[in-house]
Amino acid sequence: MPVSSVIFDIGRVLYDWDPRFLYERLIPRGEALESFLRDVVTHDWHFQHDAGRDFADTSAELVALYPQHADLIAVWGPSFGDTIPGPIRGMHELAARLDDAGVPLFAITNFSHEFFPPFRAKEAALFDRFRDIVVSGEEKLVKPDATIYRLALDRFGIDAGDAVFIDDNAANVAGAQAVGLTAILFTGVDDLLPRLRALGLPA
């Protein structure tokens, strides 16, 4: 049976995301920038926000380790939106086509409970098309933990076999498949469209 609903990841599927977009405005390009991104505001450090920790706590801990970078670390929270420069090519148009055709849209995102609400409000033109969005930081559950997929399916009111999940992270795709979802590793809109059409969706 063809799937009837689409569940999107957000970062690097619907919107580009990279801390570099923020910090290359604040640190001259070169080794100082590269070492700051590699050693200080690491993805592992940021993953704590996705898991539900408050920026006030994580930043205080990081400043204790790198006091010389206190001002730059402090920028992360209030300027997090600057790490998201804009949409991924073709993906907002795809979401609009699916929604206009009556396909239910949902999302499961690893995103901070503090950073997501202002971003969602800013991007209401897209997110108002979604029937529900599960945010990891709000649930204190993160992909690829099976629990977040099961929670999402229960909240969305759909069966795993009725939906396709799209994510740029192979581990998250595998986690979705483990609970019975059809899942696609996102590499770009040109690869995604024929795969959705093969599932019977009006992409």
The alpha carbon torsion through 188, 87, 20, 64 (nearest 10 deg) reads: -110
Mean pLDDT of all residues in 63-91: 98
Under DSSP, the state recorded for 13 is T
Tell me how far apart the alpha carbons of residues 171 and 174 are, in angstroms, rounded to a whole number. Answer: 5
pLDDT class for 2, splitting at 50, 70, 90? Answer: confident
Measured distance CA(143)–CA(82) in Å, rounded? 23
pLDDT one-digit tens code per residue, 10-19: 999 999 999 9
Query: In 10 A of CB 57, how many CB atoms?
Result: 11
CA distance 33 to 30: 6
Query: Which of 144, 145, 119 shows the shortest CA–CA distance to 133?
Result: 119
Determine the angle formed by the axes of helices 43-50 and 55-65, rounding to 10 degrees: 160
Residue 191: exposure state from Cβ atoms within 10 A (0-12, 13-18, ≥19) = exposed
- Statement: residue 190 has pLDDT above 90: yes
When computed from its CA atoms, the radius of gyration of the chain, rounded to whole angstroms, is 18
What is residue 180's predicted lDDT score, i.e. its pLDDT?
Answer: 97
**Confidence band (pLDDT; 50, 70, 90) for 23?**
very high
Arithmetic mean of pLDDT, 65-93: 98
Res. 5: pLDDT tops 90: yes
Residue pointed to by tokens 């076999």 = 161
**Do the Cβ atoms of 1 and 164 come closer than 8 Å?**
no
Q: Is a pLDDT exceeding 80 seen at residue 1?
A: no
pLDDT tens digits for range 97-144: 999 999 999 999 999 999 999 999 999 999 999 999 999 999 999 999
